A = this chain, B = another copy of it.
């Protein structure tokens, strides 16, 4: 890790930029599971004040990307099997509601279709990190297209940990590249046909497969 990381100041807030920078490094696996992040370390590395680092850490903690209790140093969490099951139970709850609502309208969200294409490109070129990003983008697009601010916020609470886990374990390396794309296509097709039940079923199947891939990476391998 370099002694000073540079922050893009696109967002007007310094805290936002710091939060985003750390977030990316965690979900991409640059900061490994179990790593400790102290306030002063981040503050000196990024050249910001300690309260700023503190604020960023608190936001990340709220999203489950860090674990932190009073007077103790924040660490990148290691999700065990039980937690991964809990994570996917919650994820399936949200995304099922999303695809059902979308199927009720029959409209396939354009962003999801775009992400689907990006997945295929990434899989063809063996760009695993892009593949993870595009997969997250696909599911995020589905939820966002419902237009429910609160459903979207609940999903953000979940998808961060999913991203973290996929990034750390790089589970996509195990999936036949075409498998994920096919499962996604089945979901989109059901949405287009206006079949809420089918869409929900295809989604649940897809996420159970994804969970299985993560768990097998966790135990065996």
Which residues of A line the B interface, CB within 8 A?
12-13, 51, 55, 58, 62, 64, 70, 83, 86-87, 89-90, 93-94, 97, 148-151, 153-154, 157-158, 161
Instruction: Provide a sorted-by-A list of 18 A–B residue pairs whose CB atoms are within 8 angstroms.
Output: A13-B70, A55-B58, A58-B58, A64-B150, A86-B148, A86-B149, A86-B150, A89-B150, A90-B150, A90-B151, A93-B93, A93-B94, A93-B151, A94-B154, A150-B158, A150-B161, A154-B154, A157-B157
This chain: how many copies in the complex? 2
Instruction: Give A97's nearest chain B residue, CB to CB.
Output: B93
CA distance A63 to B154 in the complex (A): 11
Given contacts A51-B51, A154-B158, are A148 and B12 in contact (CB under 8 A)?
A: no
A93-B93, A93-B94, A93-B97 known; 20 new pairs, CB 8 Å cut-off, are: A12-B70, A13-B70, A51-B51, A55-B58, A64-B150, A86-B148, A86-B149, A86-B150, A86-B151, A89-B148, A89-B150, A90-B148, A90-B150, A90-B151, A93-B151, A94-B154, A150-B158, A153-B157, A154-B157, A154-B158
